[in-house]
Amino acid sequence: MSINKVVGSFDEAVADIFDGAVILMGGFGPANGTPSNLLRAVAKLGVKNLTLVANTPGFGRPAPGTKSFRKTPPNYDDGGLLIQSGQVSKVICAFPGMSRPGMTAPLHEKWEARELEVEMIPQGTLAERIRAAKAGVSAFFIPTGAGTVFEEGKETRVIDGRNNVLEYPLKADFALIRAHKADRYGNLVYQGTSRNFNPVMAGASRVTIAEVDELVSLGGLDPEAIVTPGIYVDRVAVRQNGV
Amino acid sequence: MKARLDEQTMALRVAREFKDGMIINLGFGIPTLAANFIPEDKEVLFHAENGCLGYGPMPTTEEEENFHLVNATGTFATHKPGMCFFDHAESFSMIRGRHIDLCVLGGLQVSEKGDLANWVTGVGRPGNIGGAMDLAFGAHHLIVVMTHITKEDEPKILKQCTYPLTAPRCVNLIITDIAVIDFTPDGLVLREKAPGWEVDEIQALTEPKLKISDDLKQMEI
């Protein structure tokens, strides 16, 4: 058996993440598409000065004695964990999180303390810049952002009578993604809206690491239904008993 | 103090704009409530930025809550026959590629040119742009639903927005708690007024000059 992307543990899966790495993280809201175990392993690894790229970096863990303002899946952690632990120096995202009383994301606290830089990107531009990194697209023009603050410092061009902004690929060192099932080639399928950014990020960084619920044998995934072809995946780490 | 429409009634008025066969995207807040008022004789599909088309209503029991099925506001949705899932790049191809017929967003400010500001005031914490900007640029038709004035009684329909824009010249219709206002090549046209409200009272709370529709009606609610 010469191709086997399955690694023995989440710790092993993230062991080469280094200080200053740029990390893509899948997930959206409280959906189950967040690689909670990989994030906990990165927290344990203790690497610092990370740049975290995610739609929503996350709310982290509620303060001791308080409950989360929203329901989350069992054994859930999000990127907020790494912000709370002080491992993240920059966040690139579309949705930092609400900042109402009782719903304050750790991002806001660190940002106000000037311990964290935040770069905002419209959600669709974020997805397309990540896709461009995967797809070898050197740059692309899109109308989103023309005539707004997101145009500042960028090349613009009128195409078909519409103003457009030139956007570049968002390149990263690691992608931490979450899928439902995998085989040893790294082919992946997802569940419902837990898919979100995960297939976009797979293959968009130098190393893509997938956290999955279940490993199946080759042939166990319908080739017509595979969402992420294994070519984009470098490592697969499997949850035990679904958590 | 005159009666203004409450949020549910505004959402009901929004849903009157739903036409048979439309693909619709609903933003945070009042727009999301409009999904509860789909006219019975119409079939529409809801699009969620996080990769779902054709999702069903919010669950009514805890057993139906599924962490693999949330809409773009992070709220649980339900399965509905014919629904499909896709990733974020595909989802925004639908938006940017102008495949969404109607989008309904909340608003902080709207200018008389149809500029929308709805994500940040420009001071304090970073705002949440989310998918609003892509939707404002990409949707075929954009409705903004919001209160007519701020909590401090300042107009929200202005000659020019003072907050950072979500998108320039994108709004087609505003539904507020006292009026329905259309954007036409000739400017803002007052099309409907809430029960008990007079034209001059609505104009007094609106910075740009409103044209009055020949067909001005009272909102049916």
Task: Label residue A11 exposed, middle or buried (CB < 10 Å: 0-12, 13-18, 19+).
Answer: middle
Probe site for chain B from A104, A110, A123, A167 (most B CB atoms < 10 A): A123
**Single-letter residue type at A210:** A
- Predicted local confidence at residue A1, as pLDDT: 65
Domain count, chain A: 1
Considering only CB atoms, B137 lies closest to which of A29, A144, A227, namely A144
Tell me whether residue A138 is in a domain.
yes
pLDDT digits over A60-107, tens only? 998 888 888 788 998 999 999 999 999 999 999 999 987 777 677 899
Tell me whether residue A216 is in a domain.
yes
Q: What is the mean pLDDT of each run of 10 residues along chain B (221 residues)?
A: 93 97 95 93 97 95 95 93 98 98 98 96 87 97 98 97 97 98 95 97 98 96 80
ipTM score here?
A: 0.96
* Domains delineated in chain B: 7-218 (3.40.1080.10)
Active site residues of B: 49
* A and B: number of Cβ contacts within 8 A: 144
- Predicted local confidence at residue B106, as pLDDT: 97
Q: Please, which residues 36-55 of chain B have a Cβ atom closer than 8 Å to chain A?
A: 48-52
Residue-averaged pLDDT of chain A: 95
Tell me whether residue A63 is in a domain.
yes
User: Which chain B residues touch A149 with a CB distance below 8 Å?
Assistant: 164-165
Q: Give the domain range for residue A165.
A: 10-238
Tell me whether residue A243 is in a domain.
no
Tell me whether residue A5 is in a domain.
no
pTM of the prediction?
0.96
Give yes or no for B3 touching A (CB within 8 A): no
Task: Write out the two tokens for A91.
Answer: 């966040």
- Predicted local confidence at residue B200, as pLDDT: 97
Tell me whether residue A131 is in a domain.
yes
Q: Which residues of chain A are modeled with pLDDT < 50?
A: none
Task: Write out the two tokens for A156.
Answer: 């613009």
Distance from CA of A117 to the nearest CA of B (A): 10
Task: Label residue B34 exposed, middle or buried (CB < 10 Å: 0-12, 13-18, 19+).
Answer: buried
CATH, residue A141: 3.40.1080.10
Considering only CB atoms, A144 lies closest to which of B48, B71, B133, namely B133
- Predicted local confidence at residue A64, as pLDDT: 83
User: Which chain A residues touch B126 with a CB distance below 8 Å?
Assistant: 96, 111, 118, 120
DSSP A236: E
- A12: which residues sit within 8 A by CB, 6+ positions away? A237
**Site of tokens 């679904």:** A242
Task: Quote the Cα angle for B26-B169-A124, to 5°.
Answer: 50
- B64: which residues sit within 8 A by CB, 6+ positions away? B76, B78
Closest residue in A to B65 (Cα–Cα): A71
Tell me whether residue A71 is in a domain.
yes
CA distances, A229 to each of A126, B36, B193 (Å):
22, 39, 55
Tell me whether residue A4 is in a domain.
no
